[in-house]
Structures are given as C-alpha cells and as structure tokens.
A = this chain, B = another copy of it.
Amino acid sequence: MARWQPDARGRLEAAAFELFRERGFEQTTVADIAARAGLDKRTFYRLFGDKREALFSGNGHLEELLVRSVTETDAGPFEAVVAAFRLVAEEIFADRLELVRARQTIIESSPELQERELRKTGSLVAAVTAALRARGLDETTATLATESGATVFRVAYARWVAPDSDAPLSDLIAEVAAELRAITSAPTETP
C-alpha cells in the first residue's frame, strides 16, 4: 500500500492535524499539508476528496463497530443503539481524551469543519438505521431510535470533552440516556 515512501495517506493526515493545530484550519493550505508530508498538492486530492477529509478518516472504523454492535444484539432498538455507542466509547474514545480534545478544538474553530462533522455523524446514523432495519424494524422506529441514541451520545460527548470533565464517556452516556427517558416518558402539563 506504500511504494515510494510508506503510508502517504497517514503522513498527510498527520501533517494536516499538526498544521491545523499550529496555524488553524483556514490558515493552512493544501499545498502546505502536502509539502510537510513530502508530497504534492495533487496527491493529497487523490487520497482525500477534500481539505476537510484529512480530519475525518477514523469514521469508517467507527461505523463498522456501531453497525456490528447493533446487529448482534436482541435488545430493544433504543437500548441497542445506546449500548453500541457505549461500546464505541470504550473501544475507541476512552484512552484518547487529549487527542479528541485537540481535534474538537480544531473543528470548533471552523464552520466548514462543523458542517463536515455534522454530515459525518449523519452518515453514521444512516448506517446504524439501516442495520436496525435489517433486524426487521420499520423505518420510523429505526430512525427514531438511532437519532435519539445519537443525540444522547452527542450530549454525553460534549460533557466529556469539556475541559473540566472527568467521568468516563461510557458512564455519561448511560446517565444522559436515563435523562432522555425522563423527559419524553410522561407528557408534563404545567398549568
């Protein structure tokens, strides 16, 4: 997979991450990234569709894990999705807090990157929904379960990434899921 020098793709990702941290996303040129990786701009565009994509390569792995988890359980749809996110939290995020925070800082600094992240999570959600449907659930139920699960994850994730947090992500997910149940369960009428 690597001929001239090993792992061109990996080098580009690393270079991009460094430069985005050093100068910010918008102040970094694709040519800069390529140069730091010892490659040409054109090569970057052959490996990544986009300048932004260099930051979003782990998503394939994530999706695979989520889909597998949701597929291999018999739990109710919402529970299955929450469990899948907790698995991901432990397998992928747990021991990478600092890295995740740095990445998050970069993303928050650029509207373009926020948009891209939204789309990425959107396609994760779509994949998980498809997996639920493959278990025989109807479209609406599957979508609702996945989206709610994703919302729970996002809220928990935001708490986890916050500078003063210390609870494990997986625990936070469980807590937030419980809160969501409380809010939606009974129509509260306050006169």
Interface residues of A (CB under 8 A from B): 74-79, 111, 114-116, 118-119, 122, 140-141, 143-145, 147-148, 151-152, 154-155, 159, 176, 179-181, 183-185, 187-191
Contacts and interface: CB of A to CB of B under 8 A. Distances in A.
B188 A75 contact: yes
A151 B143 CA distance: 9
27 contacts: A74-B191, A75-B188, A79-B187, A79-B188, A79-B189, A111-B119, A114-B119, A114-B122, A115-B116, A115-B118, A118-B118, A140-B155, A140-B176, A140-B179, A141-B179, A144-B151, A144-B176, A144-B179, A144-B180, A144-B183, A147-B151, A147-B155, A148-B151, A148-B180, A148-B184, A181-B187, A184-B184
Contacts of A143: 155
Number of identical protomers: 2
A79 B184 CA distance: 8
Given A76-B187, A184-B185, 9 more contacts: A76-B183, A76-B188, A78-B183, A79-B187, A118-B118, A144-B151, A144-B152, A148-B151, A184-B184
Contact of A189 (B76, B148, B181): B76
A145 B79 CA distance: 19
Contacts of A77: 183
A143 B191 CA distance: 23
A184 B187 contact: no
